[in-house]
Structure 1
Amino acid sequence: MGETAGPSHAATRGLSRNESPHDPLPDIVASVAAGGRDVNRYPDPACTDLILALADRHGVEADRVAVGAGSCALLQSLFQLAGSGATAVYAWRSFEYYPVLADQLGVRSERVPLVDDTHDLTAMADRITATTRLVVICNPNNPTGTLVGPEQLRAFLDRTPPTCLVALDEAYFEYVDEPAGAGGLALCDRYPNLVVLRTFSKAYGLAGLRVGYLVGAPHVVASLREMALPYAVSGPAQRTAIAALGVEEVLLTRARETIAERTRVRAALLADGFAVPVSQANFVWLGLGEDAGPFGRWCARAGVETRVFDGDGVRVSIGSPADNDAFLAAVRRWRIRRAAELLTTGTVG
């Protein structure tokens, strides 16, 4: 049967980029507008006020905080710090930018397969050698949404030599609702080779402004600051990130609304017969294998944009309730089509 998902939609529902579905708060809009009054001036290259605000928020000294143009910029610096010819260990599948950065900077990648869509930290520790200078752990993992808890992280860090930097990429931390998901910041004092990355792009809704930060040991932060491009974080971005910290409770309430929608969407997918790992991020993962491409194209024809990893799976961001309903409606039509195929051909393909 042909892939006909129903009438085409003029407006596509974007569920592919893990963005916040909520419109910016008035305080955020006002901060962006105010920042526009001095765009003829260079921003503070040291991001002083933002670093002080983040240090206060997390109860650490300012020399333990680095700011970058999104957490991706800080990840790039970490791979650069590892050095050409070194090895980086990370899970796969995980954030697709890791191998890109490694290849660009001449760092060899050691990819360790996920087990049940989750990091296999024991296997990752086994792959650390004398040339390993960086381990990246995406937690919750992108694109599967799975989480490793503090006890697992401590066991891993106990096995990691101090010459190897461990980067805990917590871009989706604000969407974690498991009791075990306390985050990695509490471990930084005990493990000076641990750094934790966070971002304002997801739960804080500032994806278009590009602001991320890292918390780690002062000597690591000092190296990252030396490597940073000057003026990389714009003045409006710095100002608005501070404003976002001021309305954090409202933004985290919105994150809890996304968590509720995530639970609803996953329950509906499970009821439709999909295998969906428990997600602690603002997306869900469908490990569809060879059906990933056809499913993604089906959703696109229904006006729903998803993130397709051909031959592997489909990641679906949690959007507004209406966006999510449109996605679930497309899923139901997909299941009906597949059932009809099975009846007419005896196979599903």
Structure 2
Amino acid sequence: MTSAGAVGRLLDRWPPADRILVAGPDAARPAGELARPGRTVTAWPPAPGDPRADAAVCAGWRWTSGEAEHRRFLAEVRRRLRPGGTLILDQAAAGGDVDPLTGRGGTVRYYHPTELAGLVRAAGFRTEHVELTGAAPGAGPPGVLVAARALLAPPEALAVTGWGADAGEVRLDLRYADDETELLDPAPGKIWADVAAEADQVAGHYPVDDPFGGVRGAPVVSRFFGRPVPPGQLSFGAGVTSLLRDLAGLADGGPVVAPEHTHPDLQAWAAFAGSDVHVATAAALTARIRECRPALVLLDRPGFDAGVLALADVVRLAGVAAQTGAVVVVDESAAAYLGPAGSCATVAADTGNLVVLRGFTKAYSWGGLRAGYAICSPELAPRVRELITPMLIGEPALRAALGVLAAGDPLAALRRRVREVKPPFARKLAAGGFAVISGHPDIPWVTVADPDGAAGRALAARGIRGLLPAPAPVPAPPAPGRLHLTVPLSRRRIELFDTLFEGQDDPA
């Protein structure tokens, strides 16, 4: 077995490990050698109710079961570690002949270093260090020491988790808008009421002949975007969240690249299927794609800062990604504000590697409907259908979604209102000492600089809550830096904001 000194050296690379779990057939030796004042070293398995450990050491890796069981064991180890906790896995060199097809020497399964690193990644870790520790006497795998960090796991890694965090007394929540639908024509509520009026018939319909909604949806979606969308390139799901979960499989364990502060759900699911996730600034995105050669590139359009990447730039990035064989997924959850003509769905047929996601939570305020859809390039249609769960959207939700799309673009009055009230909202924030980025004039939010949290605290002191970007599932996610504030649209919300904001302390 590798010396405890080598294990200790790796542990010292990261934050202090005060609680260590030790597992494996040689657990007793490192448990004794790693002990020190103030440190708790516990043999696996931990007792129920024990706090999460800072590190786990799997000593003398000699397992006689199969790979699936090994992966499950490592995943259970990860669940017993704090996010970012350290895993040190020590596999001794093969002691005799090893079957090259099965990796077994007798009853023991030995892994080559790359296999072991992949197994660790598939269990929810990011591999950060691999070193050889001894040669096998035959042709079997050498001894290897792997160090990895535990990724933040779903659901904690997903964007929805932060919405339940307590923020004290909040009188005006600017993470979202509850006053958008008052400006839509037709009102989404009217369309939903029409569907509900036929609830008995609708709820009883089981459309196994159209499990993705593409057959019935294609004519409506084609008219909406003014471009033909064949049924095979259109799939409906239970909101964009469910589609992101399924389409994470497009990475197929390969690297994922996304700009900073991109919605993290797809990245989190891909990471737990063995993908390495990389983030980049918008300016460095093209270079990062060429450097990492990803399997999947994820874009938010609009982005967290309310900026909207031009369609020509999306097509250009898709071309760069195509050089590495990568798929580009564009999350247009909030692009309804731009109208159908501004969607990447209008250029999906012009590329071979684009998937565009649209939903009804933003602008339509139909988050509870759980409806969303994906439009993909023709070449991607078979891959997308391999991954998306059939029958994922309920029949009432599908009919309501198609009803609102069939109505055309009901957001003209909303866009006029946003353009009317967004500039004075931004000016008021700027006059209060906040550094404001307004972004696209049709997107109903702004962001303010918040590098140290002072802006958020200053607003919270007046009962106003903003939205921080959800962290990417990487070991050292970019600092939030900015705070998202939805523009109040209705007179009641504007007056409430003015009342609360008046007399606000300087955010600096």
> Shorter-normalised TM-score: what interval?
0.7 to 0.9
1:16-49: CA deviation from partner (whole Å, max 9, x where unpaired): 1356632554522313423532435545533232
- Mapped to 1, the partners of 2:321 and 2:468 lie a distance apart of 34
Partner of 2:425: 265
Q: The residue matched to 1:338 in structure 2 has which SS? A: coil
> What are the residue-to-residue correspondences of 1:304-319 with 2, within 5 Å?
304-309=464-469, 312-319=481-488
5+ residue gaps in structure 1?
A: 1-7, 340-347
Native 8 Å contact 1:51 1:67 kept in 2: no
Partner of 2:400: 240
User: Is the aligned partner of 1:36 residue 2:199?
Assistant: yes
Partner of 1:135: 297
Partner of 2:501: 331
> CA 1:267–1:57 in 2, change beyond 3 Å: closer, same or farther?
same
Q: The residue matched to 2:468 in structure 1 has which SS? A: strand
User: Is the aligned partner of 1:193 residue 2:353?
Assistant: yes
> CA 1:138–1:287 in 2, change beyond 3 Å: closer, same or farther?
same
* Superposition deviation, residue 296 in structure 1: 5.0
Which of 101, 104, 111 is residue 269 of structure 2 equivalent to?
101
Q: The residue matched to 1:289 in structure 2 has which SS? A: coil
Native 8 Å contact 1:283 1:315 kept in 2: yes
Partner of 2:289: 125
Which of 80, 92, 115 is residue 249 of structure 2 equivalent to?
80
TM-score, length basis structure 1: 0.78
Q: The residue matched to 2:355 in structure 1 has which SS? A: strand
> CA 1:79–1:259 in 2, change beyond 3 Å: closer, same or farther?
farther
> CA 1:202–1:256 in 2, change beyond 3 Å: closer, same or farther?
farther
- Mapped to 1, the partners of 2:431 and 2:312 lie a distance apart of 32
Equivalent AA in structure 1 for residue 458 of structure 2: F
- Mapped to 2, the partners of 1:20 and 1:105 lie a distance apart of 39
> What are the residue-to-residue correspondences of 1:294-305 with 2, within 5 Å?
294-295=457-458, 297-299=460-462, 302=463, 304-305=464-465
Q: The residue matched to 2:410 in structure 1 has which SS? A: helix
- Mapped to 2, the partners of 1:102 and 1:19 lie a distance apart of 32
Partner of 1:56: 223
Partner of 1:206: 366
> CA 1:293–1:250 in 2, change beyond 3 Å: closer, same or farther?
closer
User: Is the aligned partner of 1:158 residue 2:313?
Assistant: no
Q: The residue matched to 1:127 in structure 2 has which SS? A: helix
* Superposition deviation, residue 239 in structure 1: 0.9
Which of 212, 231, 237 is residue 46 of structure 1 equivalent to?
212
Partner of 2:173: 14
Report % sequence identity. Answer: 21
Equivalent AA in structure 2 for residue 146 of structure 1: G
Native 8 Å contact 1:292 1:312 kept in 2: no
* Superposition deviation, residue 89 in structure 1: 0.3
Partner of 1:218: 378
* Superposition deviation, residue 74 in structure 1: 1.9
> CA 1:41–1:137 in 2, change beyond 3 Å: closer, same or farther?
same
Count of aligned residue pairs for this structure pair = 316
TM-score, length basis structure 2: 0.56
- Mapped to 1, the partners of 2:312 and 2:435 lie a distance apart of 27
Q: The residue matched to 2:248 in structure 1 has which SS? A: helix
Native 8 Å contact 1:27 1:243 kept in 2: no
Q: The residue matched to 1:137 in structure 2 has which SS? A: strand
Equivalent AA in structure 2 for residue 16 of structure 1: R
User: Is the aligned partner of 1:175 residue 2:175?
Assistant: no
Native 8 Å contact 2:217 2:231 kept in 1: no
1:115-136: CA deviation from partner (whole Å, max 9, x where unpaired): 5xxxx4433433342xx11001
- Mapped to 2, the partners of 1:17 and 1:105 lie a distance apart of 31
* Superposition deviation, residue 205 in structure 1: 2.9
> CA 1:137–1:186 in 2, change beyond 3 Å: closer, same or farther?
same
- Mapped to 1, the partners of 2:297 and 2:311 lie a distance apart of 16
1:308-342: CA deviation from partner (whole Å, max 9, x where unpaired): 358523211234332244234433432xx238xxx
Equivalent AA in structure 2 for residue 33 of structure 1: A
* Superposition deviation, residue 294 in structure 1: 1.3
> CA 1:259–1:136 in 2, change beyond 3 Å: closer, same or farther?
farther
- Mapped to 2, the partners of 1:296 and 1:98 lie a distance apart of 31
> CA 1:104–1:40 in 2, change beyond 3 Å: closer, same or farther?
farther
CA RMSD of aligned residues (A): 2.9
Greater relative contact order (Cα < 8 A, sep 6+): 1
5+ residue gaps in structure 2?
A: 1-167, 470-478
Partner of 2:279: 111
1:129-186: CA deviation from partner (whole Å, max 9, x where unpaired): 2xx1100111210x21112223333332332235110112222223249xxx944234
* Superposition deviation, residue 209 in structure 1: 0.7
> CA 1:276–1:35 in 2, change beyond 3 Å: closer, same or farther?
farther
Which structure is higher in helix share?
Answer: 1
> CA 1:18–1:74 in 2, change beyond 3 Å: closer, same or farther?
farther
Native 8 Å contact 1:19 1:202 kept in 2: no
The structure having more radius of gyration, on CA atoms, is 2
Native 8 Å contact 2:417 2:489 kept in 1: no
Native 8 Å contact 2:234 2:374 kept in 1: yes
Q: The residue matched to 2:268 in structure 1 has which SS? A: helix
Partner of 1:285: 447
- Mapped to 1, the partners of 2:410 and 2:179 lie a distance apart of 13
Equivalent AA in structure 2 for residue 331 of structure 1: F
